[in-house]
Amino acid sequence: MKRPIGVIDSGVGGLTVAHEMMRQLPNETLIYLGDTLRCPYGSRSEQEIIQFTNEMVDFLLKKNIKMLVIACNTATAYTLENLRKTLPIPVLGVIKPGARAAIKMTVSNSIGVIGTEATIKSNAYEKALKNIKPEIEVQSLPCPLFVPMVESGILSGRKAEEIVRESLAPFIKQKNMDTLVLGCTHYPLLKETIQSVTGDDIKIISSSDETAREASAILEVHELLRADDDKTDHMFYTTGELDVFERITRELFKTTVHDIQKVNIHQINNSI
C-alpha cells in the first residue's frame, strides 16, 4: 500500500524515530510534522498537549496516512489511548517500545527514566515498565533544559556537557541503576554527551529502534506494508523556523533534506 506513514513530534526530536523507520522500512514513505513553534510540550498543560497533538493529527489525516506514529513521549502519555480509540488507522506511541527495550537490557532491575516534566508527571514509563516486570525499580527525573537545548541546536560541547551533568546529578549517585531510558525523542540527539556524563556502565536506551520494529510488525499484521520498491518521497513539515530544523536533519541523516516546508496548522492565541 503506497499511502504514507505519518510521524508527529513537538519539534525535531521525533526525527530520531523517523530516521530509524527510514532505515528499517526503506520502501515506506514518511510524512513528518514537528510543532517547533510551540515546542517544548513538556511544560504545557494537559489540555494544551491534547489540543496541539490533535491539530497535528488533523493535518496529517488530510495527507491520507495509513498509520500514525506519535514520536513524542509527552504526546504519547496524554493522547495515545484516545487516538487509538477514535482513529480508523493504527496508532503507535514510543513509551511501551522504550520500556520493552529497557527491560531486555537491565541486569540489576533498576532503571532510570529521564524526560520532560509532563512525561515524568504522567508516570507513563513507570506504569509501562511495571506492567511488564512488577519487581522493576524505577527512578524518574525531569530534565526540562534538554529540549530547549536541542531545539536551539546545542548538541555537544562544553555548554551541553555542563547542562547535562547538572541535570543528571541526582542519578549519577545511584549505584544500582544500570539502564537509563531516554524518555523524550529529543534526548537521543544528546546521547553521546549523556553517555560521557553517566559513564559506560550505564546502558542508554532510546525508543527509536524498538518503535521502528513495532511499526514494521503492525504494518505487516494489518497488511499495510508497501510491496514495491519505487522511489520514496519523504516530506518534512515544521511549524517554526527552518534553519535549526534543517541543521538537525543534516546532522542526523548525514545529507541535506530538501523537502522541508514551514506550515501553519494551528490557531495562535495570545494566551499560548
Q: Which residue, among 105, 97, 46, 45, has the nearest Cα to 71 in the 3D structure?
A: 97
Cell of 157: 560541547
- Residues 6 or more apart from 16 whose CB is under 8 A from it? 71, 185, 186, 188, 189, 206, 208, 252
Report how far residue 91's alpha carbon sits from residue 103's, in angstroms, rounded to the nearest whole number: 23
Residue 140 annotated as part of some ligand binding site: no
Beta strands in the chain (DSSP E): 5-9, 30-34, 67-70, 91-92, 110-115, 137-142, 179-183, 203-205, 235-238, 260-262
Per residue, what are the HEC states of 56-123?
HHHHHHCCCCCEEEECCHHHHHHHHHHHHHHCCCCEECCHHHHHHHHHHHCCCCEEEEEECHHHHHHC
Cell of 145: 533544559
Query: How many Cα atoms sit within 13 Å of 24 on the Cβ side?
Result: 17
Residue 73 annotated as part of some ligand binding site: yes
Residue 208 annotated as part of some ligand binding site: no
Residue 185 annotated as part of some ligand binding site: yes
Q: Which of 57, 68, 72, 92 is catalytic?
A: 72
Residue 35 annotated as part of some ligand binding site: no
Cell of 117: 516534566
Whether 143 is a known active-site residue: answer no
Whether 184 is a known active-site residue: answer yes
Residue 176 annotated as part of some ligand binding site: no
Residue 232 annotated as part of some ligand binding site: no
Q: Which of 184, 194, 212, 215 is catalytic?
A: 184
Residue 98 annotated as part of some ligand binding site: no
Burial label for 116, CB within 10 Å (0-12, 13-18, 19+), is buried
Under a CB-based contact definition with an 8 Å cutoff, are residues 125 and 138 in contact? yes
Binding-site residues, please?
9-10, 41-42, 73-74, 185-186
Binding-site residues for substrate, please?
9-10, 41-42, 73-74, 185-186
Residues with a known catalytic role: 72, 184
